[in-house]
Structure formats: C-alpha cells, structure tokens
Chains A and B, each alone.
Chain A
Amino acid sequence: MGNVERVDKTLATNEMVYYLRKSPELQRRWCTERAAVCREFGLTQPEIQALENPDPRILMDLGVHQYLVPHILRLTHGTSNVTNKHPSLTAYADAFPRETDTVLKGTKWSTKKDGDG
C-alpha cells in the first residue's frame, strides 16, 4: 500500500490539526504561542520541534497524516490562491526535490532555474 499507511493514527498532532482548522481562536494562538497550543493537545517534544518550522518530510516521518501536512503549512502561509507557487507547495518542492522535479521541471511552476540539475 502507499504512503498514507505511514500515518500514526494515535499521534497527537493529527488530532490537534482537526481542532485547529475549526477554531479561529486556536489559529490566532498558533501564530502567537504555538508551543503552548501544542502542549495543551499533548504533543511530544519531537512533534513540537517539528512544528516550529514545518517540513513535510519530517512531519510524515513522525506519522502526521499526509493530508494534514498541507493544512499545517497553510496555518502559517495562508489558505488563499494555493497554486503550485504557494509557499505551502514550494515546501514540498524543497522536501521532495526528486519527486517534484520529475513532474514540474520545465513548467511554469518549476522552482529550478535553467541549468540546474
């Protein structure tokens, strides 16, 4: 089976994101006191550390459900006009360059300049 089976269904981060998306107050606090919000939901220190500067690869290695990873990124970068150039997507290009380049190289969304590998 695929990547989705790498999820740790018991990881506190996966529950926290569900509530974050529903609560403007939690979203506000996510920007101003992220670690405190994480502790209230029972996240472990490695989870809290990974959410300080979210990297899709690290989050999935911890067991965050893949579908929730872009939502975590959008909590920081906003949810409007989420084209392939949105920071929540370029984060994927940085985290998974091989998987991304094989698809986007040469397109208007490529983050690589001519001559890059």
Chain B
Amino acid sequence: MADIVAAMATTHTPGLLGWFEDAPADQQQTARNAFQKMREHLAAAQPDVLIIFGNDHLLNWPINNTPEYTVGIADEHTGPADWYQPWLGQAEKYRLKGHPGLARHIVNETGKRGLPFAYIRKDMQFDDAISTPTLWLNPDQSIPTIPITMNCTVPPIPRPERAYQVGKALREIIRKYPGNERVALIGSGGLSHEPGGPRYFRIDEEFDRAFLQWLADGDHDAILRECTLERMEEAGSGGTGELIAWFVVLAATVGGAEVLGYEPSYAWRCASGWVIWPGLSP
C-alpha cells in the first residue's frame, strides 16, 4: 500500500517568482532558507510523488462551474499557463510528470465516499498555486506530481472543517492505493492577503502569527475551533481562505508543526509562511 511520508505547506504568492527581489533582503533570505529546509525534508523522505493542493483561482473553471476539488490525471503536465508566464517571470515552461494511477484512484475513491472530485485529463492550467511550490521545492521537476486545485475563492468557500474531513478521507484513500508509492503532501496558499480586493495591500500579522502558533501547538480541535472561515475572511477576503489547503494536509499529521519562517511581505502583497509537520498519522 502507498504511504504518506511527508507533509508541509507554503505560501504561493506570485511575488515569490515574479518580483521576488522587490522584497527586503531579509524577507528574501527567510523564504530561501524555508524552501531549502523543505527541500531537505523532501530529500530525506524520498517521495515517489508529490500531491500539491492549491487554489484554482478561476483558472481551470469559469465562474459558472467551480468544483470544490479538481485532480490533474495526466501523464505529464506543463506550466505555467501562457497568461501567467510573464507574471511569474518564467520565460520557459516546465514539464512535470504526473501520476495518473494514483490520481485516478483518488478521483474514483473520493466519489465512493460522497466527495465529488472533478478531474482534468490533459492541459490542466497552472498558475502560482502549483508553479510556486513546484519551482521552489521540485526545481528540476524530478518528482512526479499530482496537482489538486480547490475552490478557495468563489462563494460558497468550503469551510476549514470540510477541508480537514476531506484530508482525513484522502489519507485513507492514498493508503489504500495498491502500490508502494511514497507520497508527500504539500498545502499551497495563504497566509493573510486579499487579492484584488479593496484591502489588496493589507496583511493581518496578528491573525498569521496566531495561526502559525495554533499549528505549532498541534491541537487540531483547537485549530478548527479558532480558525474559522469568518476569521480568515476578516484577515483578508478571498485569499486567506486558501489556508483550507493547509487543513487538507493537517489532517494527515499528528502533533505540532515546525514553523520554518514567516514574513509579512508587503512587496509580495501576501503574508508568507512555511511549515513542515514532523509527525504523520499512523
């Protein structure tokens, strides 16, 4: 059976790729150090496949149809999408092997549990949600990846407890896969920001630091009680809610997270944070 061997989460702000050097040098260094630790953690875990969870940002689906989760089931993926290449400062596209066997298993097994996961067979579009973790954590694209995009921004935005329940189901589903794959889970998104909203430049440092402390404390019931969707919306509407991707990963962990860094980066118009979870659910 497959096994989950690593769990981590990162901000995916496009500033980390497209205008990284506009931030103060110390913030750039925090990001570099955090990503370095995450790459080392991945190298030690030796995953055969990464599963990245991140906001779909109305990229793969128009606003009249926004699935809660969408799985990329292709043999190979290409990114970033044309529109995002200059935005993300990527003159060249990257090619990323998929894992269609496990991806299709996830689509079908979630369906049996009443979780309507959509899928895209070819030409899934990638923006910062998938590209930022891919280019920083899998820089040579040597680790096959299953992208799972989420609706984090079109009402009704799924609640954290829903994402946590989905994460619990996914943990069981992945472990039922009839292979020996070693799987790493990566949550992509947050922290506080309000992309395109009236408070586009605002960051809620008080919320961010509380959120990271809740993760470090590792009490899942307390996190779910404290970190409501309403609180996330108050911290930055339409963006902070991307942290539901972190809740999917959280569900596969036990104990506190190791917080690798935090920067309230106004240059990147997004509070940036990075964590790994040393403890995984047995």
Contact = CB atoms under 8 A, between A and B. Distances in A.
Given A21-B83, A83-B19, A92-B201, A4 B266 contact: no
Given A4-B153, A4-B157, A109 B195 contact: no
A4 B64 contact: no
Dominant SS among interface residues on chain B: loop
Interface string B199-212: 11111000000000
Contacts of B197: 2-4, 60, 66
Interface residues of A, number: 43
B246 to A, nearest CB: 19
A67 B240 CA distance: 13
Contacts of A99: 198-202
A89 B202 CA distance: 13
A83 B201 CA distance: 11
Interface in B161-207: 194-203
A109 B200 CA distance: 13
Dominant SS among interface residues on chain A: helix
B233 interface: yes
A82 B19 contact: yes
Interface stretch (B55-63, B71-79, B133-141, B249-257): B55-63
A79 B127 CA distance: 13
B45 interface: no
30 contacts: A2-B234, A3-B198, A4-B197, A4-B233, A5-B155, A9-B154, A19-B62, A21-B83, A22-B125, A66-B237, A67-B58, A70-B200, A79-B83, A80-B86, A80-B89, A81-B89, A83-B19, A83-B22, A83-B267, A84-B267, A84-B269, A95-B198, A96-B199, A99-B198, A99-B201, A102-B202, A103-B201, A103-B203, A104-B266, A109-B267
